[in-house]
Structure 1
């Protein structure tokens, strides 16, 4: 069996080795390096085009220099120095003028000629707008051109060669460096082709990875959605070709196992509380009722019975919390506004009368998928808490607001404010002395939070200008399910 599993994993690795072993961060590094390589390639191609243009200009400059040198050497030997200098100046000016088409620059020649002649005294003649270069420029063979010279609108550079002339003079002949447009277009076309190919490859890879990852994540999400219903019994498949998903599956399975153990422990606690604690309490109360009329000290018996009733109430609330945590129960779509209105009318009006309280309700139509009796108990606890701490003669304000994806139930009273450090603990089980009145059992608001969280919502407590406010967010029922009859049956 182990050998078959190993062989199956090996086949998967061979089938998609690159995809299987390169995590996302590696793909990002590869993409970044590919982008840098593309930029370097484009820069390199343009450098090659420029180098080719410089080499071509240098060859043509050397040819021009050789031709002009030969013309100077072919002058009659019987010429005087003044005549020879005049002839040389004429040849230089004619060549400089020819290079610019007489100043018209209309021949279409890209690499224009530069001709300069400097005599022994340092006087320079030749192409207009260009001075004799510095020694450093001559050593490099590259001359910077001012804008507007030699038919170069934006300036640029030229490569040049220098020849010595009889009598101590020097001759500089050069050509402007202009990249061949066809080569530039070819370089950009090649770079654009590579960029497009890389873009298409990246998009294809991203779609492939997104589809693969989405399918895996959907399986994880579906597993988590089913976990509550099946008691965390299912497990994620750890035999995944991608190591990050293997690690995620192992951690998820460990979490599911721990959750299953915790739920099982809560289930055992539920049974123990129901059998070992609440049972004896009920029996004791029955015995007290039976002997109440037969013995003296009826007040003490009544006090004992009241204490047992309180213990019984705590047990029922604790069992409700555990039941909400561990029991997979079917949910129906219930009208939150109707439930809250019914509770106020049927159960809490008489409690409010004792303190001369009034209710101000703004209940919008809203529905939520919930376990009906647990939602009722949560709403009961919120209302009971508001009435308990409200100032006599004040108003309890209740609202239900449909916020689209969520339904918000809010209950607030006019009463003493709760310290901020206490608000952070108010939903802890057993914390009942929020206002210095330890008359509760500290489980009512804990049940509210449990029901809200198990329903996919949340609960918050805060002070407002005149008192205290509790808000419960519950997921809204969607579409056609957002209706129910007043008896709770779905339409």
Structure 2
């Protein structure tokens, strides 16, 4: 039993429910105590006021008309039918003889004007009374009071109701604790079950079951599922990159090995050996560029450079890149057009954004062909900024649009230089800035759209 209680107490849901229920119970009991004290206090105040007024009136009668007048007033009060069963009077002379009233005998106590509770004899029964006693000038004594049976009955009813309410509060506390724990356990169990399956089986396709509700746990489930989607996507990307690197490196490494073995042969003349070594050096330099690109993408995806963000002018960066590429475009017979731009200031990394725009321009110049017209635009949007690079070249098939930006993915293998990492690096820069890169057909040509928010997430 103790072990079970200890196990329950270790549950966060049980402790939260217990604390909440305990606070509710304390609040209810405090409210009941206040009601009880206020009710009893009001009754006591009413009784004290009534007894005091009656006693003062009788004292006035004694002072003005003597004990006979006071006795007659007591007799009328006991027969008028108003509170006659609870009113207490007693008027005695200096010898202790009863002159008027409904008490059997005077209680043995000295006179005092401060109301007190004491036992008195009335109609042969001992009752608890609220009583004041005044000494008269002729040596007699006047007693005025109120039978407390009705008062005690009311207090008993209020106390019983408070006790019943307290018991109900405790039962609600106990029941509510278990119900709250079960509800919390039900909401958390789906997350725990999914996490256990992923941990034991390594199956990243597992997702937390959606409840269809809109409470905090439903939002948490969606966030966890979104996180798992992202993790699965990253793991797929890692597998894809690993496979692609292994596939793409095998050919250049084989060529390097062949060239170096050729250079190793002693019978080769110096010119052939020099050509073999220079070819191997070029291959190694190409591989170095590939790894540098991959490292840049990894650094951007990890968010390591976000702390370097400053306010940058997006329009100025785009204009500088266009100016830089004008000579390249002219050499290829292409035309670069800088469309009217809005002045836009956003937080970001100037070098990375410039590199991203340069990659989009380089991609457009590479695939749009001779005589292409390439337009670069920057527009301010409600969310932030939109950078567009559009060409009028042959474009991309619709089924290929979603694959653009995948690492090592290339549309053609006709000898066009590149490794399929340029657009992937733009994707990484967009993600680092909390934005996105998307592509759409321009009819003719391709339109690349880089959207950046006003504040990174």
| TM norm. shorter chain > 0.5 | no
- TM-score normalised according to structure 1 size: 0.41
